[in-house]
Structure 1
Amino acid sequence: MTASLKAALDPCSIAVIGASENPNKIGGRPLLYLSRFGFRGAVHPINPNRGEVQGLRAVPRLSDLDEAPDLAVIAVPGEAAVAALDECAAVGVKVAVMMASGFGETAGGKAREAEMAARARARGLRVVGPNSQGLANFGTGAVASFSTMFIEAPPADGPVGIVSQSGAMSVVPYGLLRGRGIGVRHAHATGNDADVTVCELAASVAEDPGLRLLLLYLESIPDPHHLAQAAAVARARDLPIVALKSGRTPAGQAAALSHTGALANEDRVVDAFLEQHGIWRARDTGDLVAAAELYLKGWRPAGRRLVAISNSGATCVLAADAASAVGMPLEPLAADTQARLRTILPSFAATANPVDITAALLTNSRLFGEILPVIAADPSADAFLIGVPVAGQGYDVPAFARDAAAFAAETGKPVVVNAPQPGVAAAFRDQGLPVFASEGGAVQALHQFIAHHELIARAAPAVPAPPRRAPAGPARLLNEAESLARLAAAGLPVVPHRLCRSAEEAVAALDALGAPVAVKGCSRDVPHKSDLGLVHLGLREPDGVARAVAACRDGLARAGAAYEGVIVAAMVQGRRELLIGAHRDPSFGPVVVIGDGGRYVEALPDSQILLPPFGPEAVRAALARLRIAPILAGVRGEPPFALDAFVAAVCAVGRLMEDPAIDSLDVNPILVGTDETACLALDAVIVVRDPAD
């Protein structure tokens, strides 16, 4: 952690510029919190009109203090905030939390905000904000925030950290967790990320040894390398990260831009990046915190086979449906386990899986305690759901809860409880078990917990460097011959072909390559040749080749495109056309796309994204997620496709995109078959950027 960010998270002294006597004003709330929540460092109100604020000695200016504070809260608006930021830099403040709005989140304000932040950083001052609700570390009492939530839901230090670009989303998860009795140590809002970004702050928060779960709210990912660093720190510490990234839709992206000035990232690239680094992506606010108790239990899931146990047949069926939907099989319990259960349960009870105790639980409250140890010894289970949809008077609910807690301790495996009645839920929750109001919610949280651990296990081991800056010159298209040559040099197999300038050269290429051949117009002005009638296939005779050359020349002339010859290529056989594409994302750097190829790729898209660096295993895993994966594996007696050469070609493209001068490339189609020699790139388009003059 850098010294400046340590000052943000654990300052020794704090100044509040614009300090107010009124604790319900933005300049008064931080003073109230610093006093109420036990901050042990020095607190300095800055107010030119008062000698004392909330019982603390005030001074007119920062320069009136004997020494510069570590952290300054700027709680004044507009130009006064800019002046205060400059004063912070002048006196040597390490970090300023700028609460003022009206900068990068407004039209035309981004450049002004960037200039202001750059000026501060050049003088050694780090800036959180502007448009920040503030920082809150309940482990140290350094609560430099104006959120009302900390009054509504009193804090308790705990094992969860929250880092958010949004002020509201730094405290809404906090409130949900506190309502469930879970302590929260960090609740930070970075606002517009003009300097200190949500990703950089997350990397520092991840170093806190007291954390066991880190939650993030992101409207953009301005510096993925810092988020990758946070993920690497978290994996080394066995700290799961769950992120809610908004802006999945164009409407959401537009709202994010108006909210924090965030630049929307292509959503599928975000998915790929988070997956690559072992970060679970939540769907909504509830999903962000849904599995919190499971993460905090310290369980280590070994698989995803589920056993459901309930006193309701309906709950058993609903749990089975929910589990099937997320790929958690309910395998039958072992025969000897079922035999032992039948000696305990009524003859009409179900003992295979799910285990239906039936309403007999009402007359015999010992049934839970008797069957759970039997199930605990069964080897067919990796996780458990205990459903108690209805209980109360006549049921020994405290005994059920104690038995379930003992069962969880004995197995050491994840256990979730479905109990919609508040009193019943409280009994299980008091025993430290995760409780959910519905079967679906319980299963979904369990699935997230297990799938997240699987994700972490296959996460990228290294932190990528920040993307290399591309040349500043204009983009230009390489023609097909140049593109194929660039790919061949990188190790991709390309179709045998020749670039011909005349009909005579094309006829000679027919003789050399052997019939049939394809003839295609070649021009750096035309990325898609078939749209202009520039592709002629299956040619066998010299006259046909000569006519195709003339047609290509005329077609390019009608389109106003330069004629750079024709490609004469061998016609080759294969079973499937795939594609490899790549482009350079302004935030994430190189992005590689693989999938089903051919002429209908836009109409019937089926693709997956990979972010370099990656290896063959990542490519194979991406291929397995395609809708055409069963076809590639072989169906109805057909042999599987030989994909080693294709996988190697994808890896070669990943390495090729390390060259920042390559802006994008499109290899479509690349032919594959049952023989590795059938893997050939048939067409390619590469866009490069040249250095600026």
Structure 2
Amino acid sequence: MSTKELRDFFHPKSIAIIGASTDFTTISGKPMKNLIHSNFGGEIYPVNPRYDSIEGYKCFDSILDIPGKVDLALIAVSASRLISIMGECISKNVKNILLFSSGFAEIGDSGKKIQDEVAKMAQENDIRIIGPNSVGCLNVKDSIPMGFATSMEAEKGFIRGNIGLVSQSGALGFSVFGLAQEESLGFTYVINTGNEMDITTVDSIEFMLEDDETTVIAAYMEGIPNGEHLITVAKRAKVLRKPLIILKAGKSAIGKEAASSHTASLAGSEEMFQVIAKQYGIITVKDIDEMIDVMKIVSRRKWSNGRKVVTISNSGAAGIAMADFSEEFGLILEPLQGETKDKIDATIPSYGSALNPIDITAQALKEQHILTETVETLVRDDNTDIIVIQTTFGGVLGEQICRSVVEIDKREEKPIIVTVTGTEELTGKGRQVLRESGVPVYKTTYDTMLAVKHLVELSEFYHKETDLSSPVSRAHQPDNVQYKTRVWTEDESKRLLKQLDIRVPENAVIQSVEQIESYVEGLKFPLVAKIISKDILHKTDAGGVKLGVQNIDEAKQAYIDIMEAAKNYNPNAHIQGVLLEEMLNKNGIEMFIGVKSDPQFGSFLVCGLGGIFIEVLKDISIRHIPITKEEAKTMVEELKGYPLLLGTRGQERSDIEAFADALVKISDYVDQQNGTLKEMDINPVVVLNDGEGIIALDGLFVWDEVESAYLVSNQ
């Protein structure tokens, strides 16, 4: 889809309203009323055989009777009439249609049949459709309302700005728009996609990204129409430094489907979406209030240079609250030092505090220079990244203080955020001064510090020079096509790991007692013996594991015992043999590496503490594949168990570098498989002391077309 197609959609010079009504209080009447009220400069063509004219505009029996070109058709007729109406639009060469009608896929099979037929007609004739079940769209910057949403009826018109908004829900989307307008936030477009027969939320985001006047995009999504498309759009947003804010509904529970590996049971689709958001710089919010709060702080496009926040208040309690929330949100409140502290000490009353939080006391109400001079000092302090002001001052003096803050903010690039706590009657004028000047202002400390957290995290993402394009694959791709329609046994998995230069214990698969002596030649005792069979999932339960095999005779006996135990456990099991493998004789930290395939977004890499702790602690880090070496290191560092790898209580540091290298190798390999590898579980991966590498002790690979659930248990 080209952005020009949607630009034509939202900038029509002629609009037909099919099903127009003289009753301007109805869904069929409001679109025309809104266009007239907004002084639409183009042609308006009402279509309804029941009327000769509506409000002085000639009314046509059919869209085919309209003499001029129709750029956009707004259709407000029943679903049962839509197919015939579509035929007329095709004959009229209409390329853009907005469907208000309901009664389609949302009501079941009968409606879906009509929706599918209309979609087919549109596709075959290069027609773009928004809806059905849409309340309309609004081109704010040109004041073109195309629908019947209540927010389109604003008597004072619309505040233009730099925010684009798209929502699957019309009621919620235009509610956000209306509330944001009350906060003096300006918009470019508001789009309600409805059932998304054709144009989706992600299509709309992509269009607004390429609009020069739109520099912030917010979206309400009930589902992800195309995960790969969203990732592409998010990457583009980073290049353009245009924040994406998403409120996603429809969170699903973890573990809806049976999984064959530990990894697959650790994360569900909502968690995968959050991983995508974090990795590709999408801000996720929990409700519409948080969405608007984030709009305020990022629409200024004043990015922070770090996490160091200095807070100023006239209330000690407010300062404590800001400190508490700063810690909760990972912000840094460092005590002021040096010249900055000395200057502020000299500015504020002696009974105030020049630490951080800064308490300027109620004396600042009488001597307003206290606040402004304190802010001016912090603006010039290189150790201050963000300034947060909290005040309860109201009335004329409070308003004057807010005007002083505005003047400083206008000439400074350092983010200044304000909390004005109090009733609308007493403090509302001060808040409005800040809103109209674009200074982010909030009513509560929590909302303020949460917004600051979002700003800091997005700023850090923008400052990172990480290349979000797919890394060039470095790993050698083994020839394993013949295996890709089944679960790999442990020995098959380890052969691949070895080809990827991931160390595994030396081993041999034995299929008879007679093979043992020659096959184990070169292996170092003690060995472990393990049954190899896809039909025996839990080796230990079946008596299929023997540890501490010391010599050839014990190896022969272990083979006999394991084969007998396996046959008794499952007489019908197909047994490939017994794996004889060197036992690890070095200490290390047990980790795991896994891969999970998500239907929306593709493959994800998972790592964490392994062995018996994987299910208990669930200390994991996840990234969408492919990843870079830098991202691999970050994955390890964000684990709660990371200090174990650094060495605690006299233990040596583990080989973190080698583990990160393995993560990249696995990522590269999985990326090459084009989605055919569904699951991987390498557990445990023992991370040895620094410089000694890693060693994978067990593994499971599940390829596409596998429906049964399998589990390879640890030795």
User: How does 1:574-585 map onto structure 2 within 5 Å?
Assistant: 574-585=587-598
- Residues 659 and 693, structure 2, Cα contact 8 Å, conserved in 1: no
Q: Aligned equivalents of 1:329 and 1:212: distance in 2?
A: 28
Aligned equivalent of 1:435: 441
Structure 1 residue 581, shift from structure 2 partner: 1.4
- Residues 333 and 378, structure 1, Cα contact 8 Å, conserved in 2: no
Are residue 356 (structure 1) and residue 359 (structure 2) matched?
yes
Matched residue type, 1:595: G
User: How does 1:479-518 map onto structure 2 within 5 Å?
Assistant: 479-518=489-528
Structure 1 residue 266, shift from structure 2 partner: 0.2
Q: Aligned equivalents of 1:265 and 1:143: distance in 2?
A: 39
User: How does 1:77-476 map onto structure 2 within 5 Å?
Assistant: 77-108=78-109, 113-114=115-116, 116-151=118-153, 154-250=157-253, 266-389=269-392, 391-392=393-394, 396-409=397-410, 411-421=412-422, 422=424, 423-431=426-434, 432=437, 433-458=439-464, 461-462=467-468, 475-476=485-486
Q: Aligned equivalents of 2:302 and 2:32: distance in 1?
A: 40
Change (3 A) 1:233 1:568: same
Q: Matched residue of 2:522: which SS? A: helix
Matched residue type, 2:363: A
Matched residue type, 2:498: A
- Residues 305 and 459, structure 2, Cα contact 8 Å, conserved in 1: no
Q: Aligned equivalents of 1:38 and 1:654: distance in 2?
A: 56
Structure 1 residue 510, shift from structure 2 partner: 4.0
Pick from 573, 576, 582: which aligns with 1:561? 573
Change (3 A) 1:414 1:599: same
Aligned equivalent of 2:474: none
Matched residue type, 1:238: R
Structure 1 residue 443, shift from structure 2 partner: 1.5
User: How does 1:528-543 map onto structure 2 within 5 Å?
Assistant: 528-543=538-553
Change (3 A) 1:5 1:533: farther
- Cα displacement string for residues 230-249 of structure 1 (whole angstroms, at most 9, x for unaligned residues): 32343333321111112334
Are residue 682 (structure 1) and residue 697 (structure 2) matched?
yes
Change (3 A) 1:87 1:460: farther
Q: Aligned equivalents of 1:656 and 1:528: distance in 2?
A: 28
Matched residue type, 1:94: K
- Residues 223 and 587, structure 1, Cα contact 8 Å, conserved in 2: yes
Gapped runs of 5+ residues in structure 2? 257-266, 472-480, 707-715
Q: Aligned equivalents of 1:201 and 1:320: distance in 2?
A: 39
- Residues 526 and 549, structure 2, Cα contact 8 Å, conserved in 1: yes
Change (3 A) 1:462 1:315: closer
Change (3 A) 1:553 1:242: same
Matched residue type, 1:383: I
Matched residue type, 2:559: V
Change (3 A) 1:399 1:127: closer
- Cα displacement string for residues 2-35 of structure 1 (whole angstroms, at most 9, x for unaligned residues): 4432232222322222222222222222222222
Change (3 A) 1:540 1:411: same
TM-score (norm 1): 0.90
232-241 or 606-615: bigger deviation: 232-241
Matched residue type, 1:295: V
Are residue 664 (structure 1) and residue 667 (structure 2) matched?
no
91-100 or 324-333: bigger deviation: 91-100
Q: Aligned equivalents of 1:478 and 1:412: distance in 2?
A: 57
Aligned equivalent of 1:519: 529
Aligned equivalent of 1:261: none
Q: Matched residue of 1:159: which SS? A: strand
- Residues 145 and 152, structure 2, Cα contact 8 Å, conserved in 1: no
Matched residue type, 2:324: D
Q: Matched residue of 2:49: which SS? A: coil
Structure 1 residue 161, shift from structure 2 partner: 0.7
Change (3 A) 1:520 1:295: same
- Cα displacement string for residues 269-313 of structure 1 (whole angstroms, at most 9, x for unaligned residues): 111212222111112211111132222323131112111111111
- Cα displacement string for residues 334-356 of structure 1 (whole angstroms, at most 9, x for unaligned residues): 23333333333322111122221
Are residue 593 (structure 1) and residue 606 (structure 2) matched?
yes
Matched residue type, 1:136: L
Are residue 608 (structure 1) and residue 621 (structure 2) matched?
yes
- Cα displacement string for residues 411-447 of structure 1 (whole angstroms, at most 9, x for unaligned residues): 4211111211234353254142222111222121112
- Residues 574 and 678, structure 1, Cα contact 8 Å, conserved in 2: no
Aligned equivalent of 1:28: 29
Change (3 A) 1:532 1:456: farther
Structure 1 residue 377, shift from structure 2 partner: 3.0
Structure 1 residue 111, shift from structure 2 partner: 6.5
Pick from 556, 560, 564: which aligns with 1:550? 560
19-28 or 316-325: bigger deviation: 19-28
Aligned equivalent of 2:53: 52
Q: Aligned equivalents of 1:124 and 1:593: distance in 2?
A: 42
Pairwise CA RMSD of aligned residues?
Answer: 2.9
Q: Aligned equivalents of 1:244 and 1:487: distance in 2?
A: 40
Change (3 A) 1:265 1:249: closer
Structure 1 residue 520, shift from structure 2 partner: 1.5
Hey, which bits of structure 1, 4+ residues long, moved more than 6 A?
none
Matched residue type, 2:356: N
Matched residue type, 2:664: C
Change (3 A) 1:230 1:339: same
Q: Aligned equivalents of 1:418 and 1:592: distance in 2?
A: 41
Q: Aligned equivalents of 1:114 and 1:655: distance in 2?
A: 39
Change (3 A) 1:398 1:519: same
Identity of aligned residues (%): 27
- Cα displacement string for residues 199-243 of structure 1 (whole angstroms, at most 9, x for unaligned residues): 111101111111121111111112123323332343333321111
- Residues 253 and 268, structure 2, Cα contact 8 Å, conserved in 1: no
Structure 1 residue 504, shift from structure 2 partner: 3.1
Q: Aligned equivalents of 1:346 and 1:30: distance in 2?
A: 60
Change (3 A) 1:632 1:293: same
Change (3 A) 1:665 1:86: farther
- Residues 135 and 145, structure 1, Cα contact 8 Å, conserved in 2: yes
- Cα displacement string for residues 85-115 of structure 1 (whole angstroms, at most 9, x for unaligned residues): 3443444322222222333334446576445
563-572 or 46-55: bigger deviation: 46-55
Structure 1 residue 506, shift from structure 2 partner: 3.8
Structure 1 residue 554, shift from structure 2 partner: 4.1
Matched residue type, 2:29: G
Change (3 A) 1:150 1:100: same
Aligned equivalent of 1:259: none
- Cα displacement string for residues 175-209 of structure 1 (whole angstroms, at most 9, x for unaligned residues): 22111111222111112223221111110111111
Structure 1 residue 607, shift from structure 2 partner: 1.3
- Residues 313 and 356, structure 1, Cα contact 8 Å, conserved in 2: yes
Q: Aligned equivalents of 2:130 and 2:55: distance in 1?
A: 25
Matched residue type, 1:329: I
Q: Aligned equivalents of 1:51 and 1:359: distance in 2?
A: 69
Matched residue type, 2:583: M
Q: Matched residue of 1:520: which SS? A: strand
Aligned equivalent of 2:487: 477
Matched residue type, 1:330: L
Question: How many residue pairs are counted as aligned between the two chains?
Answer: 673
